Amino acid sequence: MDSPFGLLAELTYRCPLSCAYCSNPINMASYTDELSTDEWRRTLAEAAELGVLQAHLSGGEPLLRRDLVEIVDQAAGLGLYTNLVTSAIGFSRRTAERLREAGLDHVQVSIQADAPVLSDRIAGIPSFQRKIDAMRLVKELGWPLTVNVVLHRRNIDRIADVLRLAEEVGADRVELANTQYYGWAWKNRDALLPSREQLAQAEAVVREARERLSMDVLYVIPDYYSKYPKPCMGGWASRQLTVAPNGEVLPCPAAQSLPLPKASIREQELAEIWTDSPVMNAFRGTDWMPDPCRSCDRQELDFGGCRCQAFQLTGDASRTDPVCHLSGDHEVVAAAVAAAQQPVSLQLTPRPHRPQQA
């Protein structure tokens, strides 16, 4: 068992946007008692001692934390590489300059589409121009910039234009990541899952862009269209860990949905949780695997797939991820994919706004 190298610090689940594909928990009431500044300082110190090298500061919208600069300063002082994952709402010049002085290393800005009207409609508020202004400010202040776009049925046809926009703002990297169906995205899956035709067109655009562009282009297809499942987080509690806004420690951002014992940074040290807690050991390694995973030569490539997805689709987190074509539950995924080939007129259920300051 190796030490984790990445920490996803979910500073808050509050967010000014209401994206219908949001994968954050639906039960927001469980996460209103957020860690204090001192608790995050201690968490980051214990993470660095454990061996963590990267701190990804996310949410929700991390800029809603009034102490974000202090948190970045602590992480940078510990020698952690810091990455701000933001919608850019609230990313003013003054805030940006303070974050740069604190030692922030990288900024990832999300955008919903290349066209202002569509982007604002998906985000739920007028935000497109503020995102563009923030991207230009990131480059002006000398940071590396990643542009992130969550793809789904409503925007995947615009990948070429999204890439053009990323090129115009000087992005160093662009992430084209198809929706992961947890949280609010699960509620909206039938209206968001793209068709095979859409995916084929998108993949052709991405291939051409990778040959033409100097920036790094990451493209993640929907799990539902894969022959084999993704190696979730590089293996359960193997490389990365997540700390939720209320201090809950998890092997991945979606694991709060699983019926497993809770572990909290408020009650235990991070090293103890990583090594000994039931939540971290529940699916660590390969001994827990049932067939067909147990006898499969891919067991250490995809680790049985996503435990959260297995639970979401079957009610049993220990089953083979139904995305896998060898899974006995694969028909539930096949049925969703078949439905996605038909025209969809379903209305989306937006995530509620949670914009309050801490």
Where is the binding site for [4Fe-4S] cluster, in residues? 15, 19, 22
Q: Is the dihedral of CA 296, 297, 298, 304 positive or negative?
A: positive
Q: Beginning with the edge strand found earlier in the chain, give each strand of the sheet holding 240-243 in spatial order.
A: 216-220, 173-178, 145-151, 106-110, 81-86, 54-58, 6-10, 240-243, 249-250
| Binding-site annotation, residues | 15, 19, 22
End-to-end CA distance of the chain: 37
Could you give the CA distance from residue 285 to residue 330 in angstroms, rounded to a whole number? 23
Q: What is the largest CA-CA distance in the chain?
A: 56
User: What H or E segment, with its residue span, contains residue 310?
Assistant: helix 307-314
CA distances to 51, 102, 355 from 245, rounded to whole Å, are: 21, 21, 15
Q: Report the SS3 class of residue 15.
A: coil
Report d(CA 165, CA 331) in Å as an integer: 38
- Other CB atoms closer than 10 Å to residue 287's CB: what's the count? 7
Element (H, E) at 57: strand 54-58
Concatenate the DSSP letters of all residues of 283-304 into one string.
T-SSTTPPTTTTT-TTHHHHTT
Sign of dihedral through CA atoms 233, 234, 238, 240? negative
Tokens of 300: 């250490």
- Closest among 125, 142, 153 to 21, alpha carbons compared: 153
The answer to whether the CB of 83 falls within 8 A of the CB of 55 is yes
